[in-house]
Structure 1
Amino acid sequence: MAPQAARIEGSGTAASRSVMVNGYDAAAVPELALRERELIRRRERVLGRPYRLFYREPFHPVRASGAHLFDAEGRDYLDAYNNVPAVGHSNPRVQAAVTAQLGALNTHTRYLTDGVVEYAERLTALFPEPLSQAIFACTGSEAVDLALRIVRHATGGQGIIITRNAYHGTTAATAAISPSLGPGNPIPDTVALVDAPESAPDGGVGERVFGEQVRAAIADFAARGIPFAGMIVDSVLSSDGLRLAPQGFLAQAAEIVRAAGGLYIADEVQPGFGRTGDWWGFTRHGCAPDLVVLGKPMGNGMPISAVVGSPALFERFGAEVRYFNTFGGNPVSVAAAGAVLDEIEDRELRVSAARVGALLTDGLRAVSAGDDRIAEVRGAGLFLGVDVVDAAGAPDPATALALVNGLRDRRILVSASGTGENVLKIRPPLVFDAADAERFLDGFAATLRSLR
């Protein structure tokens, strides 16, 4: 299938559904506690339709700590979904750093301040050469938007390759490369969609097919007179259903992209900062991107993001294009980001993510062994996906949703994603420990049994 045909055909897939699968539907669940009903009514009145709520019965937390959230009655919910508080909800070290900096100075980067320089030195030291400079923004969407601008400026091209159910942000430019946002979010002709690779027994079929699709997309751009700019891929393909195998497929695709004059952007907003057991998701593929985008977990909830790249790219862009972000890299957000690095390093959270992630992966495979509703469990550190299928082996979003809500009933929070919206998405804070994993596995086993 030609990439252009694939782009058009993709508009009718599960990714284009306008209703969020893991979402609250008042018509389906009319009976809620009075407090929740009233708050939902007020919320809908002032926030409107764009805002959605997770779960059949919306969850109303009032405080949080570590990998746990608590409702007004003090009931403890295990957070196995939120990657933003990477070093834990209400982290004391982050709180102290933010409070101290807020009481001293908070301004922009056009003044000379120590913190942003020191943090940039620490951050870029975690990347391979030539990725030695950072530009700061506030959100992942802003960072992806900026990365696209840099790539298009450097190459003179417009054509961008993405995966079929990608999510990269909500600005106009990033929504244009986020087909998972739905049917009212058109994907322009300057964007080509390719299929995420599937797991392959020989570890090579998926890699070859992915590379062939990238090569075909570049050829299709040329045939339509669209200059090629590059490719952006979430390093664990989260929105495509957490496609982790074969390792190395991104290295081959990056070579194809560069041979055609394009650049490769690694979207590390979700896999970055130790989640996979490595600092960055692209490490698993044995290649260095041209640009890296960072976001959500970077400040543990404080608004900070970044584009990391080479001096060669940044020098030209900085000389020819005016860029400034008033709040990007502000001292308070930088203080939070520095505390996050401290926590990851001092508490060895990358090692913990690999160890606890392996416990979860092995445990999920054990409790679902012989259950034909679970086709595959895969994970990289504390990022796991569970494929839920029907009797014919086809994606089963209804059962996936039942598992999500069954876990929520047991006070365990996850969600679902993927092209077929049938992949359980397990992505807890990095402080998720062995006891949390045991509680999760007990709850998952009980939920599976209850749905027989």
Structure 2
Amino acid sequence: MVTRSTIMDTNSFSKENAGLLDSSIRAMTHKRAAVLGDSYRLFYQNPVHLVRGRGQYVWDAQGHQYLDVYNNVASIGHCHPEVIAAVTKQMQLINTHTRYLHEGILDYTDSILATVPNAINRAMYMCTGSEANDLAIRVARAWSGGTGIIVTKEAYHGTSELTSGASPALGSGQALSSTTFLVPSPDQYRIGSATLGDWFANEVQQAIDNMAAQGIKLAGFLADSIFSSDGVMPGNPGFLNKTIDIVHANGGIFIADEVQPGFGRTGEAFWGFARHDLVPDIVTMGKPMGNGIPVSGLLAKSDVLAAFSDQIPYFNTFGGNPVSMAAAQAVLNVIREEQLQAHSLRVGEALRTELLTLKDKYECVGDVRGAGLFIGFELVTDKQSTTPDKALALRVIEALREERVLTSVAGPYGNVLKLRPPLAFQKQDIDWLVGALDRSLCRCAG
């Protein structure tokens, strides 16, 4: 039986369509399948062959320019000159592991800790977000003495043994850990804002009670505070506070997965958790912190981390290497110098305003939600029923690709367009995106 992953398979190329492709693209898809195996996925029924990027734009092999409305890994923009310069300079000096002294990792740690609450005062470094979340789970278990991890029903937190076992978005082919417990996504569109905080806190308490009934002690609640894989569900600032109080009251910790909502993307705060005025016990970061250079990190309260680090030495060979730290420092510098958090707030609000005109125009646009440059655009069969329309969303995604706008879908039903461009996205790009989306909806929703 073929199993489906919401984040991997919903908007993916099907080899049954290979005969419709240009000969060069068809040859590349055949070779890719032959040498990389069947686990990899391509976007779109007509895959895009990208060869160059700059800022919020990318170009294919034929020279066609596209607007990138999906790539948060190149968080401050493709090929940012300051990151290129910092990496090039450091590569000409030395790149080695963290068992030698180097000021780069220390300087960056000072810089990144200055962005979080004072109670978070320790840092560790890895190469991927999966590794960061893997270590966070290990730390949570060491501190709490428990093993149970709570995540939302469409969460994605990584591909290691521990993190894939806590990533239901990977699909039924990837078994969840027996100590992973799921709670529904905080869907404000359908639940409403007035009761969302109490409702979600109650769901988490029920999960904790279910754990206890099975003899499992809570270790922690692991969440991306904008619930991106669940369909981009930012909620009103503060709705998560009761949930975190319940987690702490039951002896667990809160791990804030900031791979997607962090580094100014929400506009309202530098970190996703800060929108809710929360102080996590652990914060995890991924490749956006280095604009795509393989670097990730874990920030933690010293007493929480000590439960692990006082007992177990940890070594990640190239986590925190000088080149990666140079890239990460350059990203922080650019965010500050180009005022990208304020830019994200301002441009994101302007974009949502324009997208709301499409909601008024089309019966199939159920909801437009988000924070900063992180927006969910939900398609439904009709506004009254709010029934998700996955088929329409996939048609619109393919139509946008022909309009040379690149994005994808999210959520359990694959009906939410996930609009998450590099922070280089500008007000003048709004017309391209909204115009292309308007034309695509007109074509596909009729």
* TM-score, structure 1 as length reference: 0.95
How far residue 202 of structure 1 moved from its aligned partner, in angstroms, is: 6.2
The answer on 1:436 being equivalent to 2:421 is no
Is contact 1:15-1:419 (8 Å) kept? no
CA–CA distance in structure 2, aligned partners of residues 259 and 364 of structure 1: 41
Q: SS of the residue aligned with 2:125?
A: strand
Shift in CA distance, 416/73, structure 1 to aligned 2, threshold 3 Å = same
Percent sequence identity is 43
Q: Show the counterpart of 2:418.
A: 425
Q: Show the counterpart of 1:67.
A: 56
Residue from 217, 221, 225 that aligns with 2:211: 221
Instruction: Report the AA paired with residue 409 of structure 2.
Output: A
Q: Show the counterpart of 1:354.
A: 345
CA–CA distance in structure 2, aligned partners of residues 424 and 402 of structure 1: 11
How far residue 329 of structure 1 moved from its aligned partner, in angstroms, is: 0.2
Deviating beyond 4 angstroms after TM superposition, the runs of 4 or more aligned structure 1 residues are: 14-19
Instruction: Report the AA paired with residue 64 of structure 1.
Output: G
CA–CA distance in structure 1, aligned partners of residues 6 and 217 of structure 2: 31
Instruction: Report the AA paired with residue 316 of structure 2.
Output: N
Q: Show the counterpart of 1:397.
A: 390
Instruction: Report the AA paired with residue 214 of structure 1.
Output: V
Instruction: Say how many residue pairs are matched.
Output: 440
The answer on 1:282 being equivalent to 2:273 is yes
Residue from 24, 41, 45 that aligns with 2:30: 41
How far residue 29 of structure 1 moved from its aligned partner, in angstroms, is: 5.0
CA–CA distance in structure 1, aligned partners of residues 34 and 359 of structure 2: 43
Q: Show the counterpart of 1:371.
A: 362
* TM-score, structure 2 as length reference: 0.96
Structure 1 spans left out of the alignment, 5+ residues: 1-11
How far residue 212 of structure 1 moved from its aligned partner, in angstroms, is: 0.5
CA–CA distance in structure 1, aligned partners of residues 204 and 95 of structure 2: 44
CA–CA distance in structure 1, aligned partners of residues 83 and 47 of structure 2: 28
Q: Show the counterpart of 1:9.
A: none
How far residue 367 of structure 1 moved from its aligned partner, in angstroms, is: 2.4
CA–CA distance in structure 2, aligned partners of residues 15 and 375 of structure 1: 25
How far residue 247 of structure 1 moved from its aligned partner, in angstroms, is: 2.7
Q: Show the counterpart of 2:127.
A: 138
Residue from 406, 411, 428 that aligns with 1:413: 406
Q: Show the counterpart of 2:169.
A: 180
Shift in CA distance, 317/19, structure 1 to aligned 2, threshold 3 Å = closer
Residue from 245, 248, 254 that aligns with 2:235: 245
The answer on 1:210 being equivalent to 2:200 is yes
CA–CA distance in structure 1, aligned partners of residues 386 and 308 of structure 2: 49
How far residue 81 of structure 1 moved from its aligned partner, in angstroms, is: 0.4
The answer on 1:267 being equivalent to 2:233 is no
Q: SS of the residue aligned with 1:111?
A: coil
CA–CA distance in structure 1, aligned partners of residues 117 and 10 of structure 2: 39
Q: SS of the residue aligned with 1:368?
A: helix
Structure 2 spans left out of the alignment, 5+ residues: none
Is contact 1:235-1:266 (8 Å) kept? yes
The answer on 1:90 being equivalent to 2:51 is no
How far residue 209 of structure 1 moved from its aligned partner, in angstroms, is: 1.0
C-alpha offsets along residues 394-421 of structure 1, whole Å, 9 cap, x if unaligned? 1111100111111100000010010111
Is contact 2:139-2:307 (8 Å) kept? no
Shift in CA distance, 338/16, structure 1 to aligned 2, threshold 3 Å = closer
Shift in CA distance, 17/427, structure 1 to aligned 2, threshold 3 Å = closer
How far residue 99 of structure 1 moved from its aligned partner, in angstroms, is: 0.5
The answer on 1:99 being equivalent to 2:92 is no
CA RMSD of aligned residues (A): 1.6
Q: Which moved more, 1:116-125 or 1:205-214?
A: 205-214
Shift in CA distance, 272/17, structure 1 to aligned 2, threshold 3 Å = closer
Instruction: Report the AA paired with residue 425 of structure 2.
Output: F
Instruction: Report the AA paired with residue 262 of structure 2.
Output: G
How far residue 203 of structure 1 moved from its aligned partner, in angstroms, is: 2.5
Q: Show the counterpart of 1:5.
A: none
Q: Show the counterpart of 2:315.
A: 324
